[in-house]
């Protein structure tokens, strides 16, 4: 496995910190470099996933399916805990949560605005696969941060609204 120098690690850490704090995730101090779509990410890239741009992260998740399983300490009993699927563009389209011993709790599906890469609608289904609620989101145009979340009942009536407020100390 390739190792990065301490100086390189510190530079990437500082860059990642400022990108997170100030929302500058689209570019890095090193410059933006695009990986070919057919190239699989290296071990080094997976280890430094925190420092990747959103486009690079999305490229790594194209067509990905993640299954999380729990196992008892004796190793005899396994059960499914979580399941998630990403589409060919690298956006998470479905997620299923399971409780103890693999009984489905809820399923969520997502729809995205492909221009901004943000979730526009989330549908939550109960354990019987019936639509439980619909969440829609509004974002600030400049920073692309969430401003409002609208919660709808399955019949389309507005149930509640959540407002997001951002401030610095």
Give a yes or no: residue 1 inside a domain.
no
25: which residues sit within 8 A by CB, 6+ positions away?
A: 19, 53, 54
Number of domains the chain is built from: 2
Tell whether 118 and 154 lie within a shared domain.
yes
pTM strictly above 0.85:
no
Name the domain boundary from 44, 60, 76. 60
CA–CA distance, 147 with 32 (Å, rounded to integer)? 29
Q: How many residues are there in the chain?
A: 169
Tell whether 121 and 92 lie within a shared domain.
yes
Tell whether 75 and 152 lie within a shared domain.
yes
At 136, is the pLDDT very low, low, confident or very high (cuts 50, 70, 90)? Answer: very high
Q: Tell the burial category of 86 from Cβ atoms under 10 Å away from its Cβ (0-12, 13-18, 19+).
A: buried
CA–CA distance, 146 with 148 (Å, rounded to integer)? 6
Parent domain of 35: 6-60
Q: Which DSSP string corresponds to 87-117?
A: -TTS-EEEEEEE-GGG-EEEEEEEEEETTTT
pLDDT in tens, 146-164: 999 999 999 999 999 999 9
């Amino acid at each position: 496995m390739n190792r990065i120098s301490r100086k390189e690690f510190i530079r990437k850490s500082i860059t990642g910190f400022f990108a997170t704090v100030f929302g500058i995730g689209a570019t890095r101090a090193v410059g933006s470099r695009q990986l070919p779509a057919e190239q699989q990410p290296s071990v080094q890239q997976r280890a430094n996933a925190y420092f990747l741009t959103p486009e690079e992260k999305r490229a790594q998740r194209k067509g990905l399916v993640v299954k999380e399983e729990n196992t008892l300490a004796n190793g005899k009993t396994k059960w499914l805990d979580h399941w998630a699927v990403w589409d060919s563009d690298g956006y998470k389209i479905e997620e299923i949560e399971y409780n103890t011993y693999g009984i489905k709790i809820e399923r969520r599906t997502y729809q995205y605005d492909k221009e901004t890469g943000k979730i526009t609608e989330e549908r939550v289904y109960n354990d019987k696969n019936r639509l439980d609620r619909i969440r829609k989101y509004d974002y600030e145009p400049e920073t692309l941060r969430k401003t409002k979340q609208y919660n709808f009942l399955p019949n389309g009536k507005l149930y509640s609204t959540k407002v997001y407020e951002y401030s610095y100390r």
